[in-house]
């Protein structure tokens, strides 16, 4: 699926802001600064590479339009390293307005399927209604990699508009990739859930993810036990939405039995479900999952979208064995995998050096009008 960079309070570190400001003054994109050399013996308990600390430099409303332009240009500059372009992407997803939206839309057609699918994901997480035509075009374009089409379908479900239903139904019937069809099924069920909940005024507080993500399915009811949720998740005869709902309920539980059930579901027949399971294990950052995720990354016969998600999850867990494996697979012949490892390691380097991976980040999107400063 996607690298989900959690949103935080404040903006990027003063060092990040100063580097970006200097680049903007030069009116061109200089080669990005080289991250500090990775320390193979870091101090323990540093946590996830995507939850880094920051020293707020300027308040969100003071982000200058030139910074926005810099980020938009960096995102679509194919001459820049993939990790630097992800830094821009993770910053732009916290800015609303036509320029960030248009840059993300352009990125959905990038030659890097990893970046393209992440840009589509970001548009869904931002719930950018004005991006619907672009996302619909992506879903209909069978020349694009299935992981990009899948992400466009998921983004349409995240936006949650009824206008997307005919398109999703059409792709559910006609798309040749099973992972895309299953994503359309999920998106349609999510839209139905939102509509029903709005009519009955029953949208539950438990629908909101504690991880601040717009999930493809609402978590199953809290009245179900961990054992019951495990049974649903592992049942190959159940519908995909119900299994996802069980998965997110187990994630929100987060206990040992819940994590064990999630790990067991890595053996599912559905590549779509396996990739979401790997993503959830990355959110949980539980080292118990390291061995299973490592086996997935090593398995060259596994679907690339699952291996990519396993790589990201290992970066979140970030123990010595996981990091060593990520370094090894930066040379993987599958770009989705090698680039995922490269970005994960770069994020970890920034985290462990006490710097933010993003150039800026905010709790809530900041919208700039034309000419704002």
For residue 202, the model assigns a pLDDT of 55
What DSSP designation does 211 have? T
Residue with tokens 């990027």: 12
For residue 367, the model assigns a pLDDT of 56
DSSP characters over 19-85: HHHHHHHTTS-PPPPPPPPP-SSPPS----TTS------S-GGG--HHHHHHHHHHHT-TTS-HHHH
Rounded to the nearest angstrom, the gap between the alpha carbon of residue 257 and the centroid of all alpha carbons in its chain is: 25
Please say whether the beta carbons of 313 and 266 come within 8 A: no
Compute the residue count for the chain: 373
**Is 275 known to sit in a ligand binding site?**
yes
Record: fold of 61-201: 1.25.10
**Is 309 known to sit in a ligand binding site?**
yes
- Tell me the HSE value of 326 on the side-chain side, using a 13 A CA sphere: 30
**Is 117 known to sit in a ligand binding site?**
yes
For residue 153 the two structure tokens come to: 């379908």
**Is 302 known to sit in a ligand binding site?**
no
**Cα angle at 223 between 194 and 269, to 5 degrees?**
70
**Is 237 known to sit in a ligand binding site?**
no
**Is 154 known to sit in a ligand binding site?**
no
For residue 332 the two structure tokens come to: 């993987």
Q: What are phi and psi of 22, to 5 degrees?
A: -65, -40
**Is 351 known to sit in a ligand binding site?**
no
For residue 33, the model assigns a pLDDT of 38
Please say whether the beta carbons of 349 and 319 come within 8 A: no
| Whole-structure pTM value | 0.82
Bridge partner list, 325: none
For residue 199, the model assigns a pLDDT of 57
For residue 196, the model assigns a pLDDT of 83
Please say whether the beta carbons of 1 and 151 come within 8 A: yes
Please say whether the beta carbons of 118 and 110 come within 8 A: no
For residue 207, the model assigns a pLDDT of 64
Per-residue pLDDT 10s for the chain (373 aa) are 455 444 433 334 434 444 444 444 443 444 333 333 222 333 232 222 333 333 333 334 545 778 899 999 999 999 999 999 999 999 999 888 899 999 999 999 999 999 999 999 999 999 999 999 999 999 999 999 999 999 999 999 999 999 999 999 999 999 999 999 999 999 999 999 998 876 555 555 556 778 889 999 999 988 899 999 999 999 999 999 999 999 999 999 999 999 999 999 999 999 999 999 999 999 999 999 999 999 999 999 999 999 999 999 999 999 999 999 999 999 999 999 999 999 999 999 998 988 889 876 434 445 554 444 3
**Is 150 known to sit in a ligand binding site?**
yes
For residue 201, the model assigns a pLDDT of 52
Question: How far is it, in rounded angstroms, from Cα 308 to Cα 177?
Answer: 18
Question: How far is it, in rounded angstroms, from Cα 353 to Cα 36?
Answer: 7
Question: How far is it, in rounded angstroms, from Cα 326 to Cα 323?
Answer: 5
Helix (H) or strand (E) holding 96: strand 95-96
């Amino acid at each position: 699926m996607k690298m989900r960079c959690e949103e935080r309070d404040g903006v990027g570190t003063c060092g990040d802001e100063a580097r970006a400001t200097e680049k903007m003054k030069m009116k061109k994109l200089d080669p990005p600064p080289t991250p500090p050399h990775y320390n193979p013996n870091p101090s323990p308990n540093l946590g996830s590479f995507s939850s880094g600390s920051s020293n707020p430099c300027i308040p969100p409303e003071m982000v200058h339009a030139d910074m926005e332009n810099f980020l938009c240009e960096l995102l679509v500059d194919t001459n820049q390293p993939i990790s630097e372009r992800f830094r821009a992407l993770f910053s732009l997803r916290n800015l609303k307005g036509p320029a960030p939206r248009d840059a993300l839309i352009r990125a959905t057609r990038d030659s890097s399927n990893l970046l393209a699918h992440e840009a589509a994901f970001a548009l869904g997480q931002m719930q950018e209604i004005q991006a619907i035509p672009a996302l619909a075009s992506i879903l209909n374009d069978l020349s694009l990699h299935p992981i990009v089409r899948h992400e466009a379908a998921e983004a349409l479900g995240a936006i949650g508009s009824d206008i997307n239903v005919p398109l999703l139904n059409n792709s559910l019937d006609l798309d040749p990739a099973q992972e895309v069809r299953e994503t359309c099924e999920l998106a349609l069920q999510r839209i139905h859930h939102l509509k029903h909940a709005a009519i009955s005024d029953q949208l539950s507080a438990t629908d909101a993810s504690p991880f601040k993500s717009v999930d493809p399915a609402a978590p199953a009811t809290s009245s179900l036990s961990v054992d019951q949720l495990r049974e649903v998740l592992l049942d190959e005869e159940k519908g995909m939405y119900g299994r996802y709902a069980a998965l997110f309920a187990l994630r929100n539980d987060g206990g040992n039995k819940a994590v064990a059930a999630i790990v067991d579901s890595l053996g599912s027949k559905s590549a779509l479900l396996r990739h979401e399971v790997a993503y959830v294990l990355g959110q949980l950052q539980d080292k118990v999952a390291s061995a299973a995720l490592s086996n997935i990354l090593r398995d060259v016969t596994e679907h690339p979208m699952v291996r990519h998600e396993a790589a990201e999850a290992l970066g979140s867990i970030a123990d010595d064995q996981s990091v060593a494996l990520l370094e090894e697979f930066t040379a993987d012949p599958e770009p989705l995998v090698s680039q995922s490892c490269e970005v994960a390691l770069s994020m970890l380097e920034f985290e462990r050096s006490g710097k933010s991976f993003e150039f800026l980040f905010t709790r809530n999107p900041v919208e700039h009008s034309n000419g704002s400063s």
